[in-house]
Amino acid sequence: MPKERVAEWDVIRGIAFLAIVLQHSIGQFAYRKDTGLIDAYTLAAIYHLIKFGVPAFVLLTGAALVYNYYGKLNYPAFIRKRSTDILVPYLLWTPIYYVYIFPGKSINLEWFKEVGQQVLSPTIGYHFWFILMIFQFYLLFPLFLKGLTWAKESKGQNETLNLNLFLVCTGLGYMLLMWASYKYLPYHVSSYPSFLQYLIANRNTNFLFYSFYFILGAVIALDLEQWREIIISSLRWNIILFVVAYVWVGYELFRGTGYNLPINLNWSTTLKPSMVTLVFSELIALYLITIKITQKNNWLNTLTSWLGKYSYGAYLAHALILGEIIKFVDAFHIMYPDLNQHYVLVTLVIFLIVSVVSTLLCFVLSKVPLGRYLIGPTGSKKS
């Protein structure tokens, strides 16, 4: 008998998708030299508020996999299904982006070679790195299950305490990894073999550097009611944690960028201890908000759940739509050069348009025969 659907996860998925679209919209204007200082830091402040986007998807992946497969994993069938749901849309969207960027290229052996390189190391689809990173969790899922089972069933303590201690130890180790990622590895990369240099340079696509969020989701799934109570009771201490972390992350950005334009949002990487603290606080707050949203059947619940339903396909498509809208904005900017005085407003408008268009596109594709192969398991399976 299938388990009951966890309503707040659908809402989190929808909000996380919106957060990622807004991040990418901000990235189109925060770096521009004609963006004013106030607008640039306003966009950065919004950017820090929504850095939970990718970690939220990793958390949901860990939660959903453990919730559905704990104690009953058929690995070959599991990998086959995940490959169809995740990799096939990715493999189809990669040549779509390639043709979009290079529309005049002849389809020959060299064309297939370059598309294959994009599949293995995406640069044209700048957001495709996430698919390569998240699929590592699917491949290694049995190892995560063994670790969780060992932690849960250790003797001498109750299961809830075992899992929470496991999460705390994982969190401490993860913070140490983030310190090494931010303070040590980039400055000693030349002293390592070429293979390790490659891994360090591309650590944002390595599952280890997002593993804590996966384990957090898994622990929540294994003790769902208990964690709902923990999160609901966390409001006061989490407000303090959020304010301290948010101010500190903003200070780090200002210390790195100062009054110089364009600002450098690389100072706000997710792979450093201060940002992990902020993102963790944001995830707890997000989970609390979604619990409250799902307690009533209102329009916000319906809308965010609907966005979550089509989030994977919309994630794959949104960068292409964003690119087209930016072309229009740039052409409009030539006629109206004062547009740079309103970049915060322009960013928010573009974010809304991209979110709506990409989701509606996936809704339409879900009705098309074989649409699931473009947008994931939501689409039609009819031939």
- Cα end-to-end distance, the chain, whole Å: 28
- The pLDDT tens digits for 169-182 are 999 999 999 998 88
Residue 71 has pLDDT above 90, yes or no: no
Residue 381 has pLDDT above 50, yes or no: no
Which tokens go with 293?
């949203």
Residue 32 DSSP symbol: -
Residues in contact with 336: Cβ distance below 8 Å, sequence separation at least 6, in sequence order? none
Q: How many CA atoms lie within 13 A of 223 on its CB side?
A: 20
**Structure confidence at residue 129 (pLDDT):** 93
Q: How much is the average pLDDT of 355-368?
A: 94
Least confident of 37-46, 244-253, 291-300, 370-379: 370-379
Residue 335 has pLDDT above 70, yes or no: no
Q: How much is the average pLDDT of 176-190?
A: 84
**Structure confidence at residue 361 (pLDDT):** 95
**Structure confidence at residue 157 (pLDDT):** 66
Which tokens go with 219?
């622990």
- The pLDDT tens digits for 9-46 are 999 999 999 999 999 999 998 888 888 889 999 999 99
Distance CA 184, CA 39 (A): 33
Confidence of residue 191 (pLDDT cuts 50, 70, 90): confident
> Average per-residue pLDDT in the chain?
90
Q: How much is the average pLDDT of 359-375?
A: 91
374 vs 160, more confident: 374
List the beta strands (DSSP E) in 260-374: none
Q: How much is the average pLDDT of 281-301?
A: 93
Q: Kindly write down the DSSP assignment for every residue of 39-84, as one continuous string.
A: HHHHHHHHHHHTTTHHHHHHHHHHHHHHHHHTT---HHHHHHHHII
Residues in contact with 306: Cβ distance below 8 Å, sequence separation at least 6, in sequence order? 14, 359
Q: How much is the average pLDDT of 312-336?
A: 88
Residue 156 has pLDDT above 70, yes or no: no
Which of 20, 28, 5 is CA-nearest to residue 358?
20
Residue 303 has pLDDT above 60, yes or no: yes
- The pLDDT tens digits for 72-119 are 899 999 999 999 999 999 999 999 999 998 888 888 899 999 999 999
Residue 260 has pLDDT above 50, yes or no: yes
- The pLDDT tens digits for 201-244 are 778 889 999 999 999 999 999 999 999 999 999 999 999 999 99
**Structure confidence at residue 224 (pLDDT):** 92
**Structure confidence at residue 383 (pLDDT):** 39
Please classify residue 44 by burial: count the beta carbons closer than 10 Å to its beta carbon, then call 0-12 exposed, 13-18 middle and 19+ buried. buried
Least confident of 102-106, 189-193, 292-296: 189-193
Residue 156 DSSP symbol: T
Residues in contact with 144: Cβ distance below 8 Å, sequence separation at least 6, in sequence order? 62, 66, 137, 214, 215, 218
Could you tell me the pTM of the whole model?
Answer: 0.93
Classified as helix, coil or strand, 217 is: helix
Which of 95, 2, 59 is CA-nearest to residue 287?
59
